[in-house]
Protein backbone atom coordinates (compact mmCIF):
# COMPACT_ATOMS: atom_id res chain seq x y z
CA UNK A 1 0.00 0.00 0.00
CA UNK A 2 2.85 2.38 0.82
CA UNK A 3 4.46 1.57 -2.51
CA UNK A 4 1.18 2.21 -4.32
CA UNK A 5 0.81 5.54 -2.54
CA UNK A 6 4.34 6.60 -3.53
CA UNK A 7 3.58 5.58 -7.13
CA UNK A 8 0.43 7.72 -7.21
CA UNK A 9 2.33 10.69 -5.77
CA UNK A 10 5.21 10.38 -8.27
CA UNK A 11 3.27 9.63 -11.42
CA UNK A 12 -0.25 10.99 -10.92
CA UNK A 13 0.35 14.02 -8.73
CA UNK A 14 -1.72 12.70 -5.83
CA UNK A 15 -1.84 15.41 -3.13
CA UNK A 16 -3.64 13.67 -0.26
CA UNK A 17 -2.02 12.12 2.80
CA UNK A 18 -1.11 8.45 3.08
CA UNK A 19 -4.06 7.94 5.47
CA UNK A 20 -6.44 9.63 3.01
CA UNK A 21 -5.13 7.31 0.30
CA UNK A 22 -5.49 3.99 2.10
CA UNK A 23 -8.78 4.93 3.81
CA UNK A 24 -10.69 5.05 0.53
CA UNK A 25 -12.85 1.90 0.16
CA UNK A 26 -11.58 1.37 -3.40
CA UNK A 27 -8.13 0.71 -1.92
CA UNK A 28 -9.25 -1.94 0.56
CA UNK A 29 -8.38 -5.58 -0.24
CA UNK A 30 -7.48 -4.70 -3.81
CA UNK A 31 -5.75 -7.96 -4.70
CA UNK A 32 -8.62 -10.05 -3.33
CA UNK A 33 -11.07 -8.01 -5.39
CA UNK A 34 -9.03 -8.52 -8.55
CA UNK A 35 -8.97 -12.28 -7.95
CA UNK A 36 -12.62 -12.53 -6.89
CA UNK A 37 -14.07 -15.86 -7.96
CA UNK A 38 -10.66 -17.33 -8.85
CA UNK A 39 -9.22 -20.20 -6.83
CA UNK A 40 -5.63 -19.23 -6.06
CA UNK A 41 -4.48 -22.81 -6.58
CA UNK A 42 -5.62 -22.65 -10.21
CA UNK A 43 -3.35 -19.70 -11.06
CA UNK A 44 -0.48 -20.76 -13.32
CA UNK A 45 2.34 -19.12 -11.34
CA UNK A 46 2.16 -17.16 -8.11
CA UNK A 47 5.07 -14.80 -7.51
CA UNK A 48 6.19 -12.73 -4.55
CA UNK A 49 7.88 -9.36 -4.99
CA UNK A 50 10.31 -10.01 -2.13
CA UNK A 51 11.18 -13.36 -3.78
CA UNK A 52 11.65 -11.79 -7.20
CA UNK A 53 14.52 -13.99 -8.43
CA UNK A 54 12.81 -17.22 -7.38
CA UNK A 55 9.52 -16.05 -8.86
CA UNK A 56 11.15 -15.23 -12.19
CA UNK A 57 12.82 -18.63 -12.23
CA UNK A 58 9.44 -20.35 -11.73
CA UNK A 59 7.80 -18.26 -14.46
CA UNK A 60 10.56 -19.00 -16.96
CA UNK A 61 10.54 -22.71 -16.17
CA UNK A 62 6.75 -23.02 -16.26
CA UNK A 63 6.30 -21.29 -19.61
CA UNK A 64 9.59 -22.10 -21.33
CA UNK A 65 10.61 -18.47 -21.68
CA UNK A 66 13.66 -16.41 -20.68
CA UNK A 67 12.58 -13.14 -19.09
CA UNK A 68 15.80 -11.45 -17.92
CA UNK A 69 16.29 -10.37 -14.32
CA UNK A 70 15.77 -6.60 -14.22
CA UNK A 71 14.90 -4.22 -11.42
CA UNK A 72 13.17 -1.23 -12.98
CA UNK A 73 10.46 1.12 -11.72
CA UNK A 74 11.62 0.87 -8.12
CA UNK A 75 10.36 3.23 -5.47
CA UNK A 76 13.14 2.15 -3.09
CA UNK A 77 16.89 1.89 -3.56
CA UNK A 78 16.90 -1.69 -2.27
CA UNK A 79 14.17 -4.32 -2.68
CA UNK A 80 14.51 -5.42 0.95
CA UNK A 81 14.12 -1.86 2.30
CA UNK A 82 10.99 -1.27 4.36
CA UNK A 83 8.61 1.68 4.38
CA UNK A 84 8.63 3.85 7.48
CA UNK A 85 5.05 3.63 8.78
CA UNK A 86 3.53 4.67 12.08
CA UNK A 87 2.20 1.94 14.39
CA UNK A 88 -1.36 3.27 14.19
CA UNK A 89 -1.16 3.24 10.38
CA UNK A 90 -0.01 -0.37 10.39
CA UNK A 91 -2.84 -1.36 12.74
CA UNK A 92 -5.41 0.44 10.59
CA UNK A 93 -4.05 -1.08 7.37
CA UNK A 94 -4.26 -4.56 8.87
CA UNK A 95 -7.85 -3.95 9.95
CA UNK A 96 -8.92 -2.63 6.53
CA UNK A 97 -7.17 -5.32 4.48
CA UNK A 98 -7.76 -8.58 6.32
CA UNK A 99 -8.72 -10.49 3.16
CA UNK A 100 -5.58 -9.36 1.35
CA UNK A 101 -3.41 -10.34 4.30
CA UNK A 102 -4.99 -13.80 4.37
CA UNK A 103 -4.46 -14.07 0.59
CA UNK A 104 -0.80 -13.11 1.00
CA UNK A 105 -0.16 -15.64 3.76
CA UNK A 106 -1.86 -18.35 1.72
CA UNK A 107 0.15 -17.38 -1.36
CA UNK A 108 3.43 -17.57 0.55
CA UNK A 109 2.70 -21.13 1.64
CA UNK A 110 1.69 -22.06 -1.91
CA UNK A 111 4.82 -20.42 -3.31
CA UNK A 112 7.13 -22.26 -0.91
CA UNK A 113 5.46 -25.58 -1.72
CA UNK A 114 5.79 -25.13 -5.48
CA UNK A 115 9.37 -23.85 -5.24
CA UNK A 116 10.41 -26.85 -3.13
CA UNK A 117 8.96 -29.23 -5.73
CA UNK A 118 10.73 -27.32 -8.49
CA UNK A 119 14.06 -27.53 -6.66
CA UNK A 120 13.58 -31.30 -6.32
CA UNK A 121 12.87 -31.62 -10.05
CA UNK A 122 9.23 -32.54 -9.45
CA UNK A 123 6.12 -31.13 -11.11
CA UNK A 124 3.45 -29.41 -9.08
CA UNK A 125 -0.26 -29.91 -9.39
CA UNK A 126 -3.00 -27.33 -9.30
CA UNK A 127 -4.95 -28.90 -6.46
CA UNK A 128 -7.67 -27.74 -4.10
CA UNK A 129 -10.02 -29.26 -1.50
CA UNK A 130 -13.47 -27.74 -1.92
CA UNK A 131 -15.31 -29.83 0.68
CA UNK A 132 -14.06 -31.31 3.94
CA UNK A 133 -16.97 -32.49 6.07
CA UNK A 134 -17.65 -35.40 8.39
CA UNK A 135 -19.27 -37.18 5.42
CA UNK A 136 -17.26 -36.21 2.35
CA UNK A 137 -13.89 -35.00 1.10
CA UNK A 138 -13.94 -33.53 -2.40
CA UNK A 139 -11.76 -31.38 -4.61
CA UNK A 140 -9.90 -31.18 -7.88
CA UNK A 141 -6.36 -31.58 -9.19
CA UNK A 142 -4.47 -31.42 -12.46
CA UNK A 143 -0.81 -31.25 -13.41
CA UNK A 144 0.79 -27.93 -14.27
CA UNK A 145 2.17 -27.88 -17.79
CA UNK A 146 1.37 -30.30 -20.57
CA UNK A 147 0.89 -33.49 -18.54
CA UNK A 148 -2.65 -34.70 -19.31
CA UNK A 149 -2.54 -37.72 -17.00
CA UNK A 150 -5.02 -37.74 -14.09
CA UNK A 151 -3.59 -36.96 -10.67
CA UNK A 152 -3.73 -39.68 -8.04
CA UNK A 153 -4.79 -38.17 -4.70
CA UNK A 154 -4.15 -39.56 -1.24
CA UNK A 155 -6.63 -38.61 1.49
CA UNK A 156 -5.08 -38.54 4.96
CA UNK A 157 -7.21 -38.47 8.12
CA UNK A 158 -5.58 -37.62 11.45
CA UNK A 159 -2.16 -38.38 9.99
CA UNK A 160 -3.10 -41.77 8.55
CA UNK A 161 -3.68 -42.68 4.91
CA UNK A 162 -7.39 -43.26 4.41
CA UNK A 163 -7.64 -43.93 0.67
CA UNK A 164 -6.30 -43.14 -2.79
CA UNK A 165 -8.60 -41.73 -5.48
CA UNK A 166 -8.07 -40.54 -9.03
CA UNK A 167 -8.93 -36.94 -9.90
CA UNK A 168 -10.97 -37.91 -12.96
CA UNK A 169 -14.55 -36.78 -12.23
CA UNK A 170 -16.22 -34.06 -14.29
CA UNK A 171 -16.11 -30.54 -12.86
CA UNK A 172 -17.93 -28.46 -15.52
CA UNK A 173 -17.58 -25.26 -13.52
CA UNK A 174 -13.82 -25.33 -14.09
CA UNK A 175 -13.95 -25.79 -17.85
CA UNK A 176 -13.71 -22.02 -18.31
CA UNK A 177 -10.12 -22.34 -17.04
CA UNK A 178 -9.31 -24.69 -19.94
CA UNK A 179 -8.39 -27.51 -17.59
CA UNK A 180 -7.18 -30.85 -19.00
CA UNK A 181 -9.37 -33.73 -20.18
CA UNK A 182 -12.42 -31.54 -20.77
CA UNK A 183 -12.95 -30.90 -17.08
CA UNK A 184 -12.53 -34.45 -15.77
CA UNK A 185 -10.22 -33.36 -12.95
CA UNK A 186 -12.38 -33.79 -9.82
CA UNK A 187 -12.40 -36.32 -7.00
CA UNK A 188 -14.48 -37.18 -3.96
CA UNK A 189 -14.35 -39.70 -1.13
CA UNK A 190 -17.27 -40.63 1.17
CA UNK A 191 -16.07 -40.70 4.79
CA UNK A 192 -17.41 -41.13 8.30
CA UNK A 193 -15.57 -38.66 10.50
CA UNK A 194 -16.08 -36.70 13.68
CA UNK A 195 -16.14 -32.93 13.72
CA UNK A 196 -12.59 -31.68 14.19
CA UNK A 197 -10.86 -34.65 12.56
CA UNK A 198 -7.81 -33.51 10.62
CA UNK A 199 -7.99 -33.80 6.83
CA UNK A 200 -5.20 -33.36 4.32
CA UNK A 201 -4.78 -34.49 0.74
CA UNK A 202 -1.53 -35.27 -1.04
CA UNK A 203 -0.49 -35.86 -4.62
CA UNK A 204 0.59 -39.50 -4.53
CA UNK A 205 3.38 -39.15 -7.10
CA UNK A 206 5.16 -36.19 -5.46
CA UNK A 207 3.89 -36.00 -1.84
CA UNK A 208 2.65 -32.45 -2.53
CA UNK A 209 0.27 -31.60 0.32
CA UNK A 210 -2.88 -29.64 -0.33
CA UNK A 211 -3.92 -27.56 1.29
CA UNK A 212 -0.46 -26.87 2.71
CA UNK A 213 -2.06 -26.67 6.15
CA UNK A 214 -4.56 -29.39 7.15
CA UNK A 215 -8.30 -28.78 7.28
CA UNK A 216 -10.65 -29.92 10.04
CA UNK A 217 -13.85 -31.79 9.35
CA UNK A 218 -17.08 -29.84 9.82
CA UNK A 219 -20.64 -31.02 9.91
CA UNK A 220 -22.37 -30.64 6.51
CA UNK A 221 -24.21 -27.37 6.10
CA UNK A 222 -27.85 -27.51 7.10
CA UNK A 223 -27.32 -30.34 9.57
Are 108 and 174 in the same domain? Answer: no
pLDDT tens digits for 16-32?
999 999 999 999 999 99
Last residue of a domain, one of 71, 96, 119: 119
pLDDT tens digits for 115-174?
999 999 999 999 999 999 999 999 999 999 889 999 999 999 999 999 999 999 999 999
Are 41 and 129 in the same domain? Answer: no
CATH number at residue 172: 2.60.40
Q: Is residue 65 part of a domain?
A: yes
Q: Report the 3 state secondary structure along the chain.
A: CHHHHHHHHHHHCCCCCHHHHHHCHHHCCHHHHHCCCCCHHHCCCCCCHHHHHHHHHHHHHHHCCCCCCCCCCCCCCCCCCCCCCCHHHHHHHHHHCHHHHHHHHHHHHHHHHHHHHHHCCCCCEEEEEEEEECCEEEEEEEECCCCCCCCEEEEEECCEEEEEEECCEECHHHHHHCCHHHHEEEEEEECCCCCCCEEEEEECCCCCEEEEEEEECECCCCC
What's the pLDDT at 137? 98
Taking the whole predicted model, whether its pTM rises above 0.95 is answered as: no
Q: Is residue 221 part of a domain?
A: no
Are 83 and 132 in the same domain? Answer: no
Are 178 and 103 in the same domain? Answer: no
Domain carrying residue 69: 2-119
Q: Is residue 223 part of a domain?
A: no
Amino acid sequence: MASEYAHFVRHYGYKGSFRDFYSRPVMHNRQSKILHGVSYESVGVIGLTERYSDSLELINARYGIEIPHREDNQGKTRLEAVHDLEEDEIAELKHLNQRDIALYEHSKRLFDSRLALFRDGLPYAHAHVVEATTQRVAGWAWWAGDNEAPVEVEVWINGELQARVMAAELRPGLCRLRVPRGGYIGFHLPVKLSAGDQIQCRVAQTRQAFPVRPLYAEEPKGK
